[in-house]
Every structure is written in C-alpha cells, then in structure tokens.
C-alpha cells in the first residue's frame, strides 16, 4: 500500500448536533484505503478509516493516536511489537512511536487524534 493510493479527507464532514451514520459511509465507500474526518471534539478529531492492505511506517511526534475497530481485524505494528485488534477493541499509540496499520482482509475503524495531526505522519 502506498500513501498516494489513500483517499484522505481532512475536512470535517459533520458539525455539532448532527447524526453521523457510519454504516452509510462504509456502504458507499469504493476506496481500498479511505480516511474521513467525521467530527471535531474539543481539540481532537474523530476519523473513520475504511482500510484494506498495509499502510506505511510513520509517527506523530507531538500527539497520541487512538484506534478503535468497528469491523474486521486491524494489525498494528508498533516499534518491535504487533497488536491485533478485533471488533470493539482499541489501542493507543503514544506520541513519537513509529507504527503502521495493516488490514489484510479489510477493517473499519475509528481514530481519535489531535485536530492538527496529519494522518500520513510527521
């Protein structure tokens, strides 16, 4: 998976007091690797990832990143360790830690991170 094959939309799709219908977004997605900023909560954003394949190694120097799997299986490679997440499991990657995500069969996840962070890494 190369970064240029990713569709990343950093525009916040939903404002305050709006219903967010994740299943309809997942159903309409035609991308292998899709990342959409859903909403902002204080200084953080909630992003939806619909992924299949492998992302590149990267890190965020100034911010943590939380992953929560809704569907499928997500593999997180984190500096010498591997963590597998199944539906309704989450994991926080601390700031400054190099990591990559893999979803061989595909996965749908939520990510929570600082609103200023770029998903491709620093």
Question: Which tens digits make up the pLDDT trace of 45-72?
Answer: 999 999 999 888 988 899 999 999 999 9
| CATH code of domain 3-114 | 2.60.120.10
pLDDT above 90 covers a percentage of the chain that reads 72
pLDDT tens-digit profile of 31-45? 888 999 999 999 999
Task: Please state, in angstroms and rounded to a whole number, the distance separating the CA atoms of residues 6 and 97.
Answer: 22
How many residues in total does the chain contain? 122
At residue 34's C-alpha, the angle toward residues 6 and 14, to 5°, is 130
């Amino acid at each position: 998976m190369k970064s240029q094959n990713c569709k990343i939309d950093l525009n916040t799709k939903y404002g305050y007091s709006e219903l967010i219908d994740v299943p309809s977004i997942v159903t309409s997605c035609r991308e292998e690797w899709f990342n959409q900023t859903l909403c902002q909560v204080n200084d953080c954003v909630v992003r939806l990832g619909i992924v299949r394949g492998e992302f590149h190694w990267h890190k965020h120097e100034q911010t943590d990143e939380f992953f929560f799997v809704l569907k499928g299986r997500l593999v997180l490679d984190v500096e010498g360790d591997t963590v597998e997440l199944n539906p309704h499991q989450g994991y926080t990657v601390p700031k400054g830690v190099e990591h990559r995500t893999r979803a061989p069969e595909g996965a749908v996840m939520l990510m929570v991170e600082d609103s200023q962070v770029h998903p491709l890494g620093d």
